[in-house]
Amino acid sequence: MKPAIIGLVGTLILAGCSAVSYNGPGLEPIPGSITYNGQPRSKLTKSPAGSAFPHDFIDQYGRQVEETYIIQPDRSLIIAHRRYKPIRFFGD
């Protein structure tokens, strides 16, 4: 539970930053990423540039992945952070 709260707080802090663009090159998309087949067709017009949001999915190897995206001034998305979540078993 604590990692989820820390991740949420980190995302909120990133969303509250005054910088409008992410200066890093971003991570390469992997299967399951929102930007894997290029930028999404629909533009995020209601979200302000510089805001961040998470995306959870299962990759091609069955691992649970959490990515954080940042909206650029041109409305494109960049992957700012990727985390592979540990596999949990039913007995844990």
Of 19-23, 26-30, 39-43, 47-51, the poorest mean pLDDT is in 19-23
Residue in this structure with the two tokens 């290029």, named with its chain if needed: 38
Look at 15 and 44; give whichever has higher pLDDT.
Answer: 44
Q: List for the chain the helix, strand, coil content (%; round to 5).
A: 15, 25, 60
As a whole number, mean pLDDT of residues 28-51 equals 91
Closest by Cα among 23, 27, 22, 25 to 50: 22
pTM of the model: 0.68
pLDDT single digits (tens) 40-92: 988 788 889 999 999 999 999 999 999 999 999 999 999 999 999 987 777 65
Kindly tell me the burial class for residue 23, based on how many C-beta atoms sit within 10 Å of its own C-beta (0-12, 13-18, 19 or more).
exposed
For the chain, what's the residue count? Answer: 92
Instruction: Give the mean pLDDT of 22-45.
Output: 86
